[in-house]
Amino acid sequence: MIANPAAGGGRGAKVLQAVQQATSSRRNVVVRVTRGPGDETRLAHRALAKGASALIAVGGDGTWSKVAAALLQSGRRPPLALIAAGTGNDFAKSVGAPARDIDRTLALIDSGETRRVDAGTVEGRFFLVCCGFGFDTAVLQRMQAVRGLRGSARYVVAALLELAKYDGLDVSIAGDNDKGRAGESSRRLLMLVIANARHYGGAFRIAPGASLEDGMLDAVAVWPLGAIQRASLLYAATRGTHVRSHAVATEQRREFDLRFPAAPMYNLDGDLFQARSRALRVSCVPGALAVVAPSAY
């Protein structure tokens, strides 16, 4: 078990206590606690080297993504179990994992029930939920200044504060679609999200048509809009109906080649990264992970 006590603004520490109580009688559970950035991946590699039969990640999307990165980098890929302590916990919603129910999660581990799901990759980094550019990254940067709120409310407030301020980004998109044909388009966008999972930001169904098991990624592009239209679209995204708007375009491909005027900032599962180049390839890794979840979800 790899636990991030700082997840969810400190919620991880409380959840860790509950998990430790629930597993206290299990001699085969070894608990490791992160103390700084990157510890999740390092501890996961150590557990895999010692022959762990499953990895339990206590945290949110960022924690789960970092533990999953170790699995994807390793020749051994035992199942990944999710226990929620984060802000959005979007991957658990998309995969159907009972991440808030500790006892049920442990029971699923015992039964060996899993789902095999896709992951995404860019610049050698992996993501489970999405890779985002533009308004998306501006909101995450703004979140750092939003105090006194947790979970989805914090993201929504940060998004509202950025509605009238953010002016968009220029991007050229090319890649292979599901029928093997290449396509390319270039224009100014408010936001570009390349999603592996449906849910994002806690409250949003950013890619309502996405599947974790189809070997594809779903791109959602939003054209520049006025502040009022942005607010309306933001609300629609909580229900997944934003994709019906004339200001939104979606496309499904195995990979997307992106080109920007300058190396952009991007978001992977809630963590921000500065790109090393202005040209990026975002790809799907089909069937990459076995996740502890009801197989019939």
Distance CA 249, CA 219 (A): 8
Torsion of CA 130, 61, 55, 7, to 10 degrees: 160
Distance CA 2, CA 152 (A): 24
* Tens-binned pLDDT, residue by residue, of the chain (297 aa): 999 998 887 889 999 999 999 999 998 999 999 998 889 999 999 999 999 999 999 999 999 999 999 999 988 899 999 999 988 899 999 999 999 999 999 999 999 999 999 999 999 999 999 999 998 888 888 877 666 666 667 767 777 777 778 888 999 987 544 444 445 566 899 999 999 999 987 778 999 999 999 999 999 999 988 888 888 988 899 899 999 999 999 999 999 999 999 999 999 998 899 999 999 999 999 999 999 999 876
CB neighbour burial string for 69-96, b if at least 16 within 10 angstroms, e if fewer: bbbbeeeebbbbbbbbbbbbbbbbbbbe
The model carries a pTM of 0.88
| DSSP code per residue over 167-235 | --EEEEEEEEETTS-EEEEEEEESEEEEESSS-BTTTB-S-TT--TTSS-EEEEEE----HHHHHHHHH
What radius of gyration, in Å, describes the C-alpha atoms of the chain? 19
Asked if 205 contacts 237 with a C-beta cutoff of 8 angstroms, the reply is yes
CA 237 from centre of chain: 16
Domains of the chain: 2-112 (3.40.50.10330), 127-283 (2.60.200.40)
